[in-house]
Amino acid sequence: MYTCGGCGRSVEFDTGSLGVRCTYCNKKVFYKERPTVAKQLKTR
């Protein structure tokens, strides 16, 4: 999953293909989304 730098939407595309554009605003700027993993702290 990537976040479009233009419209900020979550865009999913094949990372193997080059020249991908946002399907909403046609921009080619993307930010890699971080997987939201909640870290659980262990209580000692």
Asked if residue 30 binds Zn ion (CB under 5 A), the reply is no
Strand order in the sheet with 2-4: 10-11, 2-4, 30-32
Member of 1, 7, 13, 29 binding Zn ion (CB under 5 A)? 7
Cβ proximity to Zn ion, 10 vs 43, nearer residue: 10
Q: What are the two backbone dihedrals, phi and then psi, of residue 25, each rounded to the nearest 5 degrees? A: -120, 0
Selection from 25, 5, 24, 23 nearest residue 14 by Cα: 23
Member of 3, 6, 20, 21 binding Zn ion (CB under 5 A)? 6
Residue 43 Cβ, how far from Zn ion at the closest point, in Å? 43
